[in-house]
Every structure is written in structure tokens, then in C-alpha cells.
Amino acid sequence: MAQALAKRAEISTVGLLPRRIWGHLNPTDDSLGLEHKLLICERRPELWHRWRSWRQLRRFYLEEVKRKGMPDALLVRNLTTVFNYFVRWLRQQPQCPVIAVVLADSGLGQPVSISRRLRYLIKPMQYLEEKSVLWYDACLGFGFESRRDFESRGVPWLWMPSAFNFYYEPPSNTVAEGPIHFGYFGGLSREIGVHSMVKAFLASGVPGPLRLCGFGPLTDTINKLAKEHPNLHFDGLLPRQSDCLPWAQQADVLVNPRLPLWGRDNSFPSKIFEFGMAGKAILSTRTGGVDEVLRDDGLYLETENFEDSLRQKFCEVAAMDRVELQRRGTAIRNRVLKDFNWDAQARRIVEFLTGLVDATKTR
């Protein structure tokens, strides 16, 4: 996103390194093609490093304003502690830019327990999302469901479900014979529905195989099941992410079993864009606004009675004409190429922010 925005506007970026990788990597720039002007960290002890990071961020901002003048807009990715604390400080200044949150994932709108509310009352620098979100002028939401939390308060909201710039040209479709093949590549965990997907597939009794590759907590379980069931194939973790799209050519239909779990209904499964670039039909839940991307060309699962719905859909899709599945896959790929590349998304973001900045100047 930063690379694409840099083609249309003058931008500076700040990176926040998560504590889970601190012990394995040196604190170096991990951006792709656009260097961060500042790197701050999130590691233990949390309070000390959060306080230190926000002080660094404040100093960086003040120096940039002194050198270049106040920026027109500030984009903040997710409602994280350090950024929230900085935004709260910025709101207390005589002047501040338009501030928009890029909501890639969040538990916003979910019930908050009394015990958690009490903990946050005594935690330094931390605020519940329902409070911190009020400090932002607008939202760029990856997930379609986040719209309700902003437009209901009259806060501008733009749906911006990530994008995909990696180009891949699938081989020409040939009308193969035999049963329909299903496929999945990605993380292997119960939380994203992979175990339910495998169980439903095996229970469906469809004649074609389900092929999987990836890595996660279920790796050993999937590997064991693949040895017990001849129509379940597991290829483990591929050497490179770019290997996934050629691997996917073995399937007629790619399956996205993502469930609307806490924090995920406000995000978008970017895997859909990779699935789409493979040129294959996609069987998916609607979670995060997937149906807004796939539209009538998608094949959809119901999240209620999930395993039963998935088992039934495996049977229905296995009976479909392969030519129709190929038509759907081609249509989805064309839509991703046209509407969901980062250059198109950057144009929409700049237009959205420009409108907000102009509206602020006329007040």
C-alpha cells in the first residue's frame, strides 16, 4: 500500500516491530521497496518500550512538522497501544492533520467483559477499542462489517480490502475429465476452519480429492489424516509463497473456510486475492465481505451449521460442470486484476483522503 501511495503523494512511514520476532531478527527495516523513516518496537517489558516508542514517535513527528510543515493526513494501521497513545496526544494539540485508521483487523463491536473493562482502567497507556476509535476522523476498513461502527456515528468510511500486485498467468484451461478436485493453501489451524473443512470433505464422500499445502498447528494432524485417506493429499509447506499459485493448478475449486471469529469480521482474508489470481473457482464463506469481491461468481458457505453446510457444498460443487467452474475462476481473476490491485486502491485512498482534507479546510 505504501509503495502505491508513494506514486501519488509524498509520504513517510513508521514501522512497528512486533515482540514475537524481536528475538530472531535485528531491528532493521522490513519494508518492501519503501524505507521506513522510523522504526519503533513492541516487546517486553511492554510498558517501558511502549512509552519509549511513543516518545520516539512524537519527537519524529515534531521534527517532520518543523522541517516540512504539518501533513495533510495521517494513516494509522489498527488500534494498537503506541499509535493510539500518539493519536490521543495529537488530538490535544492546537492543530492536527486528518487522522484515519486503517482497520485491517479488530475486535471492534464485539462484547467486552466486565473484567476486561476493569483491567483496562488500571493499565497505563491502554484503552478499549470502543474508546480509542473515537479519536479518528475516518476509517479505511479491510473488512466490510466495520462499516456499521463508523457510518452509524457519521464518520466517513471507505472499504479497502487490501489488494494484490503479484502477477501470475495460469496455463490455458483445458477441459479435463474425471471428478472435481478441491484445494487449499495457507495456514493450518482450527481457528480458520481448516479442521472443519477436512472433516466435512471426508464426510461428504465426493469422488475427487482435496489437496492441501501449508503450515500450522494442524500440520501433524493433516499429515496423519492424509496417510489414512487416499483422497486427501498433503504437500506440506512449499519452499516459497509464489509456489502456491502453480501448485493450485491441480485443483478445480479452492476452498476458503474462514469463520467470523472475534476480530476477523472486521478484516478481509487477503488469501482470496491469491486464490483469485490462480484463476480457479472459489468456495468460501462471506466473512469480511468476500461476497463483495467474488459477487455472483463465488460459491458460498453458510457459517451456521458450518460443517453440515460445507459437506453439502462439497457434494453440490462436485456435481457441477467443470467448464462452468472454469468460467467462474476466469471472471474472478479478471475482477481482481482490474479492481483489486494496489494502484487502483491507492487512487481510491488518495481521493477519499483528499475529500476529507478539503472538507476540513472549508470549515
For 52-61, 240-249, 262-271, 300-309, which range has the lowest pLDDT when averaged over its residues?
262-271
pLDDT of the residue at 267: 80
Does domain 2-163+342-361 match CATH 3.20.20.140?
A: no
Nearest-10 crossing angle of helices 194-204, 306-318: 50
Give the dihedral sign, CA 177/272/327/204.
positive
User: pLDDT tens digit string along 118-147?
Assistant: 999 888 899 999 999 999 999 999 888 788
Whole-model pTM? 0.84
> For residues 137 and 144, what is the distance between their CA atoms, to the nearest angstrom?
18
Average confidence score pLDDT of the chain: 90
Residue 40 has phi, psi (to 5 degrees) of -120, 170
pLDDT of the residue at 154: 95
Residue 171 above 50 pLDDT? yes
User: pLDDT tens digit string along 91-111?
Assistant: 999 999 999 999 988 878 788
> For residues 213 and 258, what is the distance between their CA atoms, to the nearest angstrom?
16
CATH topology of 2-163+342-361 equal to that of 182-339? yes
Alpha carbon of 195 to those of 192, 225, 241, 258: distances in Å?
8, 11, 22, 11
User: Which among 293, 260, 301, 295 is positioned nearest to 274, based on CA atoms?
Assistant: 293
Per-residue pLDDT, averaged over 260-275, amounts to 78
Question: What residues pair up with 74 in beta bridges, in sequence order?
Answer: 99
DSSP 27: S
DSSP 205: T
Residue 283 above 50 pLDDT? yes
For the chain, domain boundaries: 2-163+342-361, 182-339
**Domain 182-339 -> CATH class:** alpha beta
> For residues 255 and 299, what is the distance between their CA atoms, to the nearest angstrom?
9
